[in-house]
């Protein structure tokens, strides 16, 4: 028996049947409508669930019904292809729906305090009955802390990745790579506790007349610990993507290895390195626990990261969300929208830089 006889029995190979028949759109919609009606009748009629279960059962019934109905028109092979294609599209929609819901919730609730007072004032002298108060101090704290952490993490991370790729060949390099992988999944609270026990309680009293000093700089150190593994791993992968003939050509011309790394390897991998750095910055900007532990979350504006506590946008959201004031939720939503917008800017910048990466073209 031929493949045509098995897939479409009774169909003769004639000029009219050379092109396969397509499942009509109207029939597709009819199957979907029947699946929704049947699912609603079963779930709501028996009272075993709500509209969420109706949607899930309707999706399953639609896939089964589509496979059966399309098989009678297009054949079993084309019907299976259509069913799995529909399942993939459905999974994509289900993956996008939570993100769309988060964005809609943030925008709809965050615009209430999206004004000049929010971005130009702090929470100093703001009581529970005051409708004013903003996140200027938290924005300043986030920018300073993430900026200092970037100044520390980027050189250390890039140099560490250069060692692992260009020089590290023995057991020590394997050990470093292992601990970098372990640190990639370290909880942020652990980084905050480390800086609290080392810098705040041991080192900072040397510079503050024997008293522990909470500061934005301590928060930056904790963020550095969190950013380092991401930068090292992303930079290492990008350096490994640099073609070997580029290095060999430089060596053949008598260029020393250190100059080859600076003049050839790093410029070639620069777009990918910048992408990893921006992703690490985006993660650090949304951390709350380290700032709460070592910076204290000051309510007033403090431009000095080395003296006195500081706040951040993530910590500001946490504090306002737990405040009993009826005006606090609006501040929390607007601060959350500001933080997400900041992270989104970093992410878009990373994607644009990734497109410029010649190694991925």
Is the pLDDT reported for residue 20 higher than 90?
A: no
Ramachandran class of 214: left when φ > 0, alpha when ψ lies in -120 to 50, beta otherwise: beta
Average pLDDT over residues 345-350: 75
Distance of CA 256 to the CA centre of its chain: 39
Band (pLDDT 50/70/90 cuts) for residue 358 is very low
What pLDDT does residue 152 have?
94
What pLDDT does residue 35 have?
86
Average pLDDT over residues 228-254: 89
pLDDT, tens digit (0-9, with 9 covering 90-100), for 211-224: 888 889 999 999 99
CB atoms within 10 A of CB 354: 16
Per cent of the chain over pLDDT 70 is 91
Band (pLDDT 50/70/90 cuts) for residue 17 is low
DSSP 259-321: HHIIIIIHHHHHHHHHHHHHHHHHHHHT--HHHHHHTB--SS----TTSS-B--HHHHHHHHH
Average pLDDT over residues 140-166: 92
- Average of per-residue pLDDT values in the chain: 84
Q: What is the pTM of this model?
A: 0.75
Which tokens belong to 52?
Answer: 């969420």
DSSP state of 233: H
149 and 224 Cβ atoms separated by less than 8 Å:
yes
Is the pLDDT reported for residue 116 higher than 70?
A: yes
Band (pLDDT 50/70/90 cuts) for residue 347 is confident
d(CA 311, CA 172): 39
Per cent of the chain over pLDDT 90 is 17
pLDDT, tens digit (0-9, with 9 covering 90-100), for 300-332: 888 888 888 888 999 999 888 888 888 888 899
| Cβ neighbourhood burial of 176 (10 Å; 0-12, 13-18, 19+) | middle
pLDDT, tens digit (0-9, with 9 covering 90-100), for 44-84: 888 777 787 888 888 888 888 888 888 887 778 888 888 88
Phi and psi dihedrals of 296, rounded to 5? 90, -25
Residue ranges and CATH numbers for the domains of the chain are 21-111 (no CATH), 118-357 (1.10.3720.10)
Band (pLDDT 50/70/90 cuts) for residue 12 is low
> According to the per-residue pLDDT averaged within each range, which of 77-86, 94-103, 229-238 is highest?
229-238
């Amino acid at each position: 028996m031929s493949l045509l006889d098995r897939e479409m029995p009774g169909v003769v190979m004639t000029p009219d049947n050379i092109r396969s028949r397509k499942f009509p759109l109207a029939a597709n919609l009819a199957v979907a409508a029947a699946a929704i009606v049947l699912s609603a009748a079963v779930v709501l009629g028996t009272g075993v669930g709500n509209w969420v279960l109706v949607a899930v059962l309707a999706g399953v019934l639609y896939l089964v019904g589509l496979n059966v109905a399309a098989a009678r028109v297009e054949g079993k092979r084309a019907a299976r292809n259509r069913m799995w294609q529909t399942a993939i599209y459905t999974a994509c929609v289900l993956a996008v729906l939570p993100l769309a819901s988060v964005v809609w919730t943030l925008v709809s609730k965050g615009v209430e305090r999206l004004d000049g007072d929010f971005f130009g004032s702090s929470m100093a002298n703001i009581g529970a009955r005051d409708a004013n108060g903003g996140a200027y101090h938290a924005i300043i704290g986030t920018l300073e802390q993430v900026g200092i952490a970037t100044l520390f993490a980027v050189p250390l991370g890039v140099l560490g990745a250069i060692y692992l790729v260009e020089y590290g060949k023995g057991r020590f390099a394997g050990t470093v790579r292992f601990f970098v992988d372990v640190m990639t999944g370290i909880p942020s609270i652990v980084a905050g506790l480390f800086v609290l026990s080392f810098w705040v309680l041991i080192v900072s009293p040397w510079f503050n007349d024997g008293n522990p000093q909470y500061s934005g700089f301590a928060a930056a150190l904790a963020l550095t610990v969190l950013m380092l593994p991401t930068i090292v791993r992303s930079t290492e992968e990008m350096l490994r993507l640099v073609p070997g003939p580029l290095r060999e050509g430089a060596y053949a011309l008598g260029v020393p290895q250190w100059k080859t790394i600076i003049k050839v390897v790093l410029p070639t991998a620069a777009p990918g390195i910048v992408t990893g750095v921006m992703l690490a910055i985006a993660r650090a900007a949304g951390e709350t626990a380290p700032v709460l532990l070592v910076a204290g979350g000051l309510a007033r504006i403090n431009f000095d990261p080395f003296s006195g506590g500081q706040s951040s946008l993530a910590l500001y959201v946490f504090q306002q969300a737990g405040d009993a004031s009826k005006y606090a939720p609006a501040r929390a939503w607007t601060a959350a929208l500001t933080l997400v917008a900041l992270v989104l800017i970093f992410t878009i910048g990373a994607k644009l830089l990734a497109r410029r990466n010649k190694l991925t073209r």
